[in-house]
């Protein structure tokens, strides 16, 4: 199976939401600012619940916040 690549559009969505700050997003999702920073930088992949909370904060579907791709294995 290929390697899973999960990326996110949180920075872009924050920009379009009146340049929402990371702290504001953290307060809306019930998490900490550090967690939002880690998610934005791809250092942490949130649980399904937090992922839905982030999508809900931006009023967009989940697949607009996170995108999933399977990287093809070059050996095959």
Residue position matching structure tokens 């199976």: 1
Contact pick of 2, 4, 44, 69 for other proteins (by CB under 8 A)? 44
Cβ atoms of 13 and 62 closer than 8 Å: no
Maximum CA pair distance of the chain? 45
Judged by CB under 8 A, the stretch of 3-11, 12-20, 47-55, 65-73 that binds other proteins is: 47-55
For residues 39 and 45, is the Cβ–Cβ distance under 8 A? Answer: yes
| Mask for 11-30, x = binds other proteins (CB under 8 A) | ------------x--x---x
35 binds other proteins (CB under 8 A): yes
Q: How far is the CB of 52 from other proteins (least distance, A)?
A: 13
């Amino acid at each position: 199976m290929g390697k899973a690549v999960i990326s996110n559009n949180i920075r872009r969505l924050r920009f379009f939401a009146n340049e929402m700050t990371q702290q504001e997003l953290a307060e809306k999702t019930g998490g900490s600012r550090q967690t939002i920073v880690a998610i934005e930088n791809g250092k942490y992949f949130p649980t399904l619940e937090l992922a839905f909370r982030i999508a809900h904060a931006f009023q967009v579907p989940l697949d607009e916040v996170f995108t999933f791709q399977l990287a093809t294995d070059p050996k095959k």
